[in-house]
């Protein structure tokens, strides 16, 4: 039986690039210290910051909220969890229940944005009506709501993208020649005053497998099922598999790749000009932002302003509550 390299207890995992075994407790500490190092190294969070953590209920976002809850005490920042109910049947209702349970366990403040109740459509209905893939509609809706909450709260938006996600996106963007997409894969994407909240990725160097083992070792609740729209044949997914194979013979090659992305891709960041959407006032690359264009096609009216107003009301309720 393999033993923990730190305390000698029964090991639950081996980390090849460190050549170390870990017991349950020390494995959790290993992941927590990885996140702490990323936060420190890339200066993602400073004392006095406000951070909105996007929590879907999947293993990565659960790892995000748990590790940030620990760092909150150490660094001294305000942490708010944000869950978006996308209206994807039983998948969304289970995710919401799990996030509520997690927030109680971690004593984290939680804001739930219910897309169906507030905007009158769900991701499945929006996908049907616009004839766009569910994930493309979903991505646009989530990004818009995260940004609205971030701008309204003057906060940084933390997402649970892990190391494998970043590598998958990087390879896909590279193949498509999407330099702007590549420039946004750094651990922190700066905000634009009043238009876009800064985005941070504290799990930048945490492998997918590590966040899975983290939630298990801490006994945290997470959603076990996959979203019915998740596709395991996408280019990103195939690149993830390819890099996992490569990592088996060359441990830490993924970490090396991520370091180069973090160091080199900043040079690709476009420094403005920045435009405000003529409908909602948030960041846009053209006169009308993606979300306002999408919702105009869907409902006949751009709904950016409505989202911003509903976010304000939700945050006002939070202050009163
Ligand atoms: Fe949204 Fe697609 Fe993820 Fe489902 S798999 S939550 S539709 S982005
Ligand atoms: Zn141990
Ligand atoms: Zn807009």
Instruction: Count Cβ neighbours within 10 Å for each residue of 1-30 and write b for 16 or more, e otherwise.
Output: eeebbbeeeebbbebeeeebbbbbebbbeb
Beta bridge partner(s), residue 112: 83
pTM assigned to the model: 0.95
Residue nearest (by alpha carbon) to ligand 1 atom 5: 230
Report the distance separating Cα 144 and Cα 271, nearest Å: 21
Q: Please give the average per-residue pLDDT across 300-317, as a whole number.
A: 95
Please indicate whether residue 134, judged by its CB atom, sits closer than 6 Å to ligand 1: yes
Contact 111, 275 (CB under 8 A): no
**What is the distance, to the nearest Å, from the Cα of residue 158 to the centroid of all Cα atoms in its chain?**
6
pLDDT tens, 198-256? 999 999 999 999 999 999 999 999 999 999 999 887 888 999 999 999 999 999 999 99
pLDDT at position 179 = 85
Please indicate whether residue 42, judged by its CB atom, sits closer than 6 Å to ligand 1: no
The answer on pLDDT for 306 being more than 70 is yes
Report the distance separating Cα 42 and Cα 30, nearest Å: 18
pLDDT at position 265 = 78
pLDDT at position 320 = 66
Relative orientation angle of helices 24-41 and 59-71, to the nearest 10 degrees: 70
The answer on pLDDT for 50 being more than 70 is yes
Please indicate whether residue 314, judged by its CB atom, sits closer than 6 Å to ligand 1: no
Please indicate whether residue 237, judged by its CB atom, sits closer than 6 Å to ligand 1: no
Please indicate whether residue 139, judged by its CB atom, sits closer than 6 Å to ligand 1: yes
Residue 221, token pair as written in the block: 């609740």
Helix, strand, or coil (residue 58): coil
Please indicate whether residue 137, judged by its CB atom, sits closer than 6 Å to ligand 1: no
Report the distance separating Cα 55 and Cα 85, nearest Å: 10
Residue nearest (by alpha carbon) to ligand 1 atom 2: 135
Report the distance separating Cα 265 and Cα 253, nearest Å: 18
Residue 295, token pair as written in the block: 């919702």
Contact 71, 36 (CB under 8 A): yes
Max CA distance (Å), the chain:
64
- The region, left, alpha or beta by phi > 0 then psi within -120 to 50, assigned to residue 50 is beta
Sign of CA dihedral 21, 25, 27, 29: negative
Portion of the chain with pLDDT greater than 90, in percent: 88
1 pLDDT band, cuts 50/70/90, is: confident
The answer on pLDDT for 45 being more than 70 is yes
Q: Is the peptide bond before 17 cis (omega within 30 degrees of 0)?
A: no
Ligand nearest to the CA of 26: 2
The answer on pLDDT for 321 being more than 70 is no
How many whole angstroms from 231 Cα to the centroid of ligand 1?
9
């Amino acid at each position: 039986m393999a033993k923990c390299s730190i305390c000698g207890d029964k090991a639950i995992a081996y980390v090849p690039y460190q050549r170390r075994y870990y017991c349950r407790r020390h494995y959790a500490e290993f992941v927590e210290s990885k996140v702490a190092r990323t936060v420190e190294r890339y200066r993602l969070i400073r004392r006095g910051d406000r951070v909105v953590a996007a929590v879907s209920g999947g293993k990565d976002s659960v790892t995000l909220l748990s590790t940030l809850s620990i760092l909150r005490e150490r660094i001294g920042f305000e942490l708010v969890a944000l869950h978006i109910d996308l209206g994807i049947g039983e998948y969304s209702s289970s995710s919401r229940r799990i996030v509520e349970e997690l927030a109680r366990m971690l004593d984290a403040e939680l804001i739930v944005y219910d897309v169906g109740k507030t905007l009158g459509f769900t991701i499945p209905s929006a996908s049907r009506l616009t004839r766009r893939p569910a994930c493309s509609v979903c991505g646009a809706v989530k990004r818009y709501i995260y940004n609205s909450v971030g701008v309204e709260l003057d906060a940084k938006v933390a997402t649970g993208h892990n190391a494998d996600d970043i590598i998958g996106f990087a390879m896909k963007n590279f193949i498509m020649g999407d330099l702007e997409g590549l420039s946004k894969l750094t651990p922190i994407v700066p905000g634009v005053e009043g238009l876009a909240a800064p985005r941070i990725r504290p799990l930048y160097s945490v492998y997918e497998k590590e966040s899975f083992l983290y939630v298990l070792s801490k006994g945290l609740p997470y959603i076990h099922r996959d979203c019915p729209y998740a596709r395991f044949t996408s280019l990103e997914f195939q690149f993830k598999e390819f890099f996992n194979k490569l990592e088996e013979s060359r441990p830490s090659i993924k970490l090396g790749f991520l370091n180069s992305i973090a160091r080199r891709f900043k040079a690709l960041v476009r420094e403005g000009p920045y435009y405000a959407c003529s409908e909602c006032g948030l960041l846009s690359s053209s006169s009308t932002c993606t979300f306002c264009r999408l919702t105009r096609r869907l409902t006949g009216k751009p709904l950016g302003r409505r989202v911003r107003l509903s976010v304000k009301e939700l945050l006002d309720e939070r202050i009163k509550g």
